[in-house]
Amino acid sequence: MSADGDKRAAAEAAVLEVRAGMMVGLGTGSTAAHMIRALGRIVAGGLAIDAVATSEASATLARELGIRVHDFAGVARVDLTIDGADEIDDRLLVVKGAGGAMLREKCVAAASDRMVVIADGAKRVGAIGAARVPVEVLPFAHGFVARMLTERSDPLLRMAGGEPYRTDQQMLVVDCAFHDLSDPQGTAAWLQAIPGVLGHGLFLSEVDAAYLATDGVVTKLERPADPD
């Protein structure tokens, strides 16, 4: 099966977690788009849900499919978020943000009682760290932030159509190849402490489960229950 077929298989498995009355967080990217289309079919079949979206693109797609999408600014809690991933390991540590939506994705994930990621099996890795980690940067502070990022990474300003890429909130993205990502929590804390860094694509505690499909076979990874 193609990678796109596997993305769709993972997405269709994950939407089975959606129940009537839920506030659902809609991720961003090609795998999330499969999930939104699957959800649209379920909603057309009569399931009543509400949703918030992690990007303008996902909001537009969902509304076209008849899904009720709310402004996240007015929503305090989300029941279940389903989103894509760029790299995921068996500890459920995830790198996100190739689609540039990681800041909104992090906000919606943090507001969610449960977050699941969906991906084709090629995204599964022994340990995160090969993919560049996207960092969202305030344009005002770009020069300073870029200098700081060179201390621990090879930073690359993301471009689109010959211009610096802009996120939905008109910020810049710097994709960082870290020299060493053996301590992702330490790296995340270091990034978050740089003034002008608004967010990053390291999702280290948000993800509860993953649906990963290879050749049409979906594997589910679930975070072990907290003993407390």
Q: Are 50 and 70 in contact (CB under 8 A)?
A: yes
Using DSSP's 3-state secondary structure scheme, residue 165 falls into coil
Q: Is 28 in a helix, a strand, or coil?
A: coil
Shortest Å, Cβ 147 to ligand 5RP = 25
The count of residues interacting with ligand 5RP (CB under 6 A) is 18
199 contributes a contact to ligand 5RP by CB under 6 A: no
From 23, 18, 169, 14, select the one nearest 104 (Cα to Cα): 169
Place of tokens 């072990």: 224
155 touches ligand 5RP (CB under 6 A): no
Torsion region of 22: left, alpha or beta (phi above 0 gives left; psi -120 to 50 gives alpha): beta
Site residues for ligand 5RP, 66-95, by CB under 6 A, read: 83-86
Q: 46 vs 67, which CB is nearer to ligand 5RP? A: 67
Pick the closer one to ligand 5RP by CB: 107 or 144.
107
Of residues 17-56, those binding ligand 5RP (CB under 6 A):
27-32
97 binds ligand 5RP (CB under 6 A): yes
Which runs of consecutive H residues, i.e. helices, occur in the chain? 3-14, 30-44, 56-64, 102-110, 142-149, 184-192
Residue 102 or 195: the one with the smaller Cβ distance to ligand 5RP is: 102
Binding site for ligand 5RP (CB under 6 A): 27-32, 83-86, 96-102, 105
